[in-house]
């Protein structure tokens, strides 16, 4: 079926109106009219082909993997969702479903690599997958998530990436009340990390390079805010953290945060710096510490996260834009000029 979209025709071209073809729903498929789609920084990287060596961009590229919408059609074999329901789609739309990771509900770590929501080989239609900067999408029900009818839909959309990327490691490493947890960076990821760490009951400390983010950090749930450029402030917290979630994608000093961990503490990276970051051996050895990384969550964990957010009233802080302002939004992303996620109102595409 013909579908309206916004696409990048090349790495150096702005996004513009485009028409794509979606498959008609197969027996296990769910068709969703997209109401809102979040704008992730990875959309910008992919559109500009900045990950060429790892994931070269195929043009035209239709980004978007933070999708919330209304179900308009289901295949005959669909059982978990029905026409009229609110639904969501995150960063992946399929996986092999047979490997050890998939069988554990960790489709995000599929050994054959999951089928990403856009710019991935489309096993059904050929070519590549197209994302949420469009007015509808068709997805296998195994990768469709339920959304609470009372949810703020625009503010829910970024939970499908920024939300689950921060929720998953905090859950995996068992963050809970009585622990001291740090969050490095107050951006699209970091602001969700602060909200979740606070909601899990941990004493939450935000690390930022910007003194002007202190008030916002506390508003979002941080018990303390440390300006990381201040060496004296950093020293006060040496050897005291159970867990630190590093949400920074720019070059920065990991050793400064490793020194803040207590025995068996963990520093987990969810940001994706462009260049390798050096680690001093003795910052890991004495006392025993862990440096780890984490991606998004599997489908079951993502549904758990959405349900947790609905129960606790947790959403992303968003600025809603029409699709016609997407290129302006990309320019502002580069400058860090957003608090804290852009979300497209897809009614503007109709």
Q: What is the pLDDT of residue 337?
A: 94
Same domain, 78 and 201: no
The domain tally of the chain equals 2
The pLDDT tens digits of the residues spanning 89-109 come to 999 999 999 999 999 999 999
Find the mean pLDDT for residues 274-282. Answer: 91
Find the mean pLDDT for residues 319-336. Answer: 96
Same domain, 245 and 262: yes
Count CB-CB contacts under 10 A for residue 77.
Answer: 10
Q: What is the mean pLDDT of the chain?
A: 96
Same domain, 86 and 168: no
Q: What is the pLDDT of residue 53?
A: 84
Tell me the residue range of the domain where 61 lies: 2-161+297-349
Q: What is the pLDDT of residue 273?
A: 85
Count CB-CB contacts under 10 A for residue 150.
Answer: 8
Looking up residue 227, the CATH number of its domain turns out to be 3.40.50.720
Same domain, 175 and 249: yes
Largest interatomic CA distance in the chain? 63
> What is the spatial distance between Cα 212 and Cα 158, in angstroms, rounded to a whole number?
24
Same domain, 253 and 228: yes
Global pTM value:
0.96
Same domain, 277 and 312: no
Find the mean pLDDT for residues 268-273. Answer: 93
Task: Choose between 265 and 274: higher pLDDT.
Answer: 265
Same domain, 59 and 100: yes
Looking at 250, 275, 293, the residue that finishes a domain is: 293
> What is the spatial distance between Cα 207 and Cα 227, in angstroms, rounded to a whole number?
6
Same domain, 231 and 315: no
pLDDT band at 51; cut points 50, 70, 90: confident
Looking up residue 14, the CATH number of its domain turns out to be 3.90.180.10
Same domain, 197 and 288: yes
Same domain, 279 and 175: yes
Q: What is the pLDDT of residue 80?
A: 93
Q: What is the pLDDT of residue 242?
A: 98
Q: How many residues does the chain have?
A: 350
Same domain, 123 and 31: yes
Find the mean pLDDT for residues 17-38. Answer: 97
Find the mean pLDDT for residues 156-165. Answer: 98
Does 52 score more than 90 pLDDT?
A: no
Q: What is the pLDDT of residue 6?
A: 98
Q: What string of DSSP letters covers 110-170?
A: -TT--EESSSSB-TTTSSB---SSBSEEEEEGGG-EE--TTS-HHHHGGGGTHHHHHHHHH
Same domain, 51 and 104: yes
Q: Is the separation of the CB atoms in 135 and 349 below 8 Å?
A: yes
């Amino acid at each position: 079926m013909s579908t309206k979209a916004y696409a990048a025709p090349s790495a150096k071209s702005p996004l513009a109106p485009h028409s794509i073809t979606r498959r008609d729903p197969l027996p296990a498929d769910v068709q969703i009219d997209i109401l809102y789609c979040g704008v992730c920084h990875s959309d910008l990287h992919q559109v500009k082909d900045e990950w060429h060596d790892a994931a070269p961009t195929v043009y035209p590229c239709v980004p978007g993997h933070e999708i919330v919408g209304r179900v308009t059609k289901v295949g005959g074999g669909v059982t978990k969702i029905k026409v009229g329901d609110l639904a969501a789609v995150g960063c992946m739309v399929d996986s092999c479903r047979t490997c050890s990771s998939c069988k554990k509900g960790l489709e995000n770590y599929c050994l054959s690599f999951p089928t990403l929501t856009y710019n991935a080989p489309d096993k059904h239609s050929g070519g590549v997958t197209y994302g949420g900067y469009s007015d509808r999408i068709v997805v296998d029900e195994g990768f469709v998530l339920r959304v609470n009818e009372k949810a703020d839909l625009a503010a829910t959309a970024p939970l499908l990436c920024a939300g689950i990327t921060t929720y998953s490691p905090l859950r995996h490493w068992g963050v809970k009340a009585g622990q001291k947890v740090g969050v490095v960076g107050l951006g699209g990821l970091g602001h969700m990390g602060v909200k979740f760490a606070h909601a899990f009951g941990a004493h939450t400390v935000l690390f930022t390079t910007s003194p002007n983010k202190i008030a916002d950090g506390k508003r979002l749930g941080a018990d303390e805010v440390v300006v990381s450029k201040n060496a004296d402030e950093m020293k006060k917290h040496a050897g005291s953290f159970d867990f630190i979630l590093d949400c920074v994608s720019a070059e920065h000093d990991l050793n400064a945060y490793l020194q803040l961990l207590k025995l068996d503490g963990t520093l987990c990276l969810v940001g994706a710096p462009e260049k390798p970051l050096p680690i001093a051996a003795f910052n890991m050895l004495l006392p025993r510490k862990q440096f780890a990384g984490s991606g998004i969550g599997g489908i079951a964990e993502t549904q758990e996260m959405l349900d947790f957010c609905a129960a606790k009233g947790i959403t992303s802080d968003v600025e809603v834009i029409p699709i016609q302002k997407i290129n302006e939004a990309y320019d502002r992303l580069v400058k860090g000029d957003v608090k804290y996620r852009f979300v497209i109102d897809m009614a503007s595409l109709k």
